[in-house]
Structure 1
Amino acid sequence: MLIEAFTAVCLGYGSYRDVKTREIPDTLWLIMGGVGVVLRLFDHQWKVMGVSVGVALLLGAVLLVSGLFGGADIKAFIALSLLVPQYPGAAVVLPVFVVSVFNNLAVIRVIEILVVFFYNIVKGNWYKGDIPQWKKILLYMTGFPMKKEKVDYRFLPLQDLQGDIHLVPDIDTDIEQFKKECTLKEIWVTYGSPLIAYITVGCFIAFIKGDILLQLMMHFAGS
């Protein structure tokens, strides 16, 4: 239970900083990873940790290149893979704990997408521009219109300064500068989800219930 408690404290603090400021000190990830390495001096699970870190690096590289994760999110996954390379008390390596956390995060994101989609339907938020229908559907699943003056650091524009739609937002956008240069009164934005908070929830679920996505897949495969 000590590992679970320490992980909860670290990720809980990271979540708080992510929600409040979107800035998380690298010291937090260094502490998590460092404690993980120290623990391996006692349990000698170096190979298990190696597999966990390797998977986290591969997963992180794909997500970073795709633009789905930022630097802090990748650091969190790597730190978690060092601290908790496998389920606490488990006798098997697979499933790798960090993968279960990611799968739970994916389930949370799907729920978020459904909420946004139905929100747009209920509110009648329809994009009037000339783009393919499939692109409109994806837009309704990921974004919503907002008055420009209400946009702050919590949101990322899905439109450029010319008003063209981009389904993958630039996570490095300077929101205040964008608002100054943008001439649109209303823009489509996506909620800059505090992924560290989502990772934290996914980790808690993994500790308590395991890999939700894997369980759902096994349930439907067996039905």
Structure 2
Amino acid sequence: MLGSIPDLLRLLAVPVFGWAAYRDIETRRVPNRTWAPLAVLGVVLLLWDTYAVVTGPTSGRLFFVQVAISLGFVAPLAYGFWLIGGFGGADAKAFMLVAVLFPAYPTYYLQTTALPLEPSLVGVFSLTILSNTVLAGVVYPLGVAAGNLVRGRFSWAMFLGKPVAVERLPEEYGRLLEDADGFTRSGLDLDALRMYLQWRGASLSELRAAPDAHRNPDSLPADPNPPGDGSVVTDGGVPASGSPDQFGTAGTADPWGAERFLDDVEGSAYGTDPETLRAGLELLADADEVWVSPGIPFLVPMFVGLVAALVYGDVLYALLSALGLA
């Protein structure tokens, strides 16, 4: 494979994004240090390309338009989605990194052809990766539904999630798709559930064994544990609970100690409010199986979108062209 040195160096992003996608599936956590080397590389390559264009024989106007769109639109768009909760922190960092690394289309020459195969009219490669990522994300619910159909699972939630035994929830990532009243798109986040259990020093099985006792805020420990970040506990342990104290009274309108928990974590646990936490705990106190949306780890379709862009190019443009719309 031949190409310019900057374009060849950009291929280092592929294994990094592949590893990040794997981490996102397994843990929903990607260390910040993952992105730092690529960020430095992206800035260096952008300066390299800029120097080559400025000192080259052409005006380079198209290149600067592409850079302006990538840095002035794609990067702020990713940051904006993070601000409104549409992206996680790692997702936003990854897409801002893509905007710096891939403002213009790279070119890789093989023996009989050149990659990417399908260019776009605008030529902003980060936009191509973005549109490919969206298309890859759209395929996900269709795959979830197909899996549920094969297993005979029929529900309003069959396009969004899967049924999971309640005792397995502490080892799952995702969000409940139901509460005591039925289907909901805004159920309890399982990371928040783990934070709550760690905070009060109890396991889910202990809450299910004595739900009435745990609803009473008097059962809260005098010195709750640090809640952590909701990661899956790999050793199966739960921090020891503190001694019970008059954290509340039986007449306090704070079942399960939900308000106290959120006050301790400064009111935020993956967007959970006291009502959502209580509704989830009430459901889990009695149910044996619940529908859970695992949520597609966004770095997975982003990795697919990056690879598709490097090999094929703009999949959306090709689809629109096939339909006579472009």
TM-score, normalization by structure 2: 0.56
Picking from 68, 89, 93, the partner of 1:50 is 68
Q: Which has the higher helix share?
A: 1
Picking from 38, 44, 52, the partner of 1:38 is 44
SS, match of residue 129 in structure 2:
helix
Q: CA deviation at 1:32?
A: 1.7
**Partners of 1:86 and 1:96 within 8 A in 2:** yes
SS, match of residue 189 in structure 1:
strand
1:52-94 CA-to-partner distances (Å, cap 9, x unmatched) read 1222234325543664421211110001111111211499982
**Partners of 1:67 and 1:168 within 8 A in 2:** no
**Partners of 2:120 and 2:314 within 8 A in 1:** no
**Partners of 1:86 and 1:94 within 8 A in 2:** no
1:121 aligns with 2:146: no
Match for residue 158 of structure 1? 177
Match for residue 212 of structure 1? 315
SS, match of residue 30 in structure 2:
coil
TM-score, normalization by structure 1: 0.79
The amino acid across from 2:315 in the alignment is I
Q: CA deviation at 1:175?
A: 4.2
1:6 aligns with 2:24: no
Question: Equivalences for 1:59-74 in 2 at 5 Å?
Answer: 59-61=77-79, 63-64=81-82, 67-74=85-92
1:143 aligns with 2:161: yes
Instruction: Report the aligned-residue RMSD.
Output: 3.0
The amino acid across from 1:112 in the alignment is Y
Distance in 2 between residues matched to 1:103 and 1:92, nearest whole Å: 11
SS, match of residue 23 in structure 2:
helix
Q: CA deviation at 1:169?
A: 5.9
SS, match of residue 158 in structure 2:
helix
Match for residue 289 of structure 2? 186
Distance in 1 between residues matched to 2:43 and 2:121, nearest whole Å: 17
Larger Rg: 2
Match for residue 131 of structure 1? none
Distance in 2 between residues matched to 1:163 and 1:30, nearest whole Å: 45
Describe the shift of the 1:145–1:62 C-alpha distance in structure 2 as closer, same or farther (beyond 3 A): farther
1:180-200 CA-to-partner distances (Å, cap 9, x unmatched) read 332222111112322212211
Q: Percent of pairs identical after alignment?
A: 27
**Partners of 2:70 and 2:124 within 8 A in 1:** yes
Describe the shift of the 1:18–1:85 C-alpha distance in structure 2 as closer, same or farther (beyond 3 A): same
Describe the shift of the 1:86–1:175 C-alpha distance in structure 2 as closer, same or farther (beyond 3 A): farther
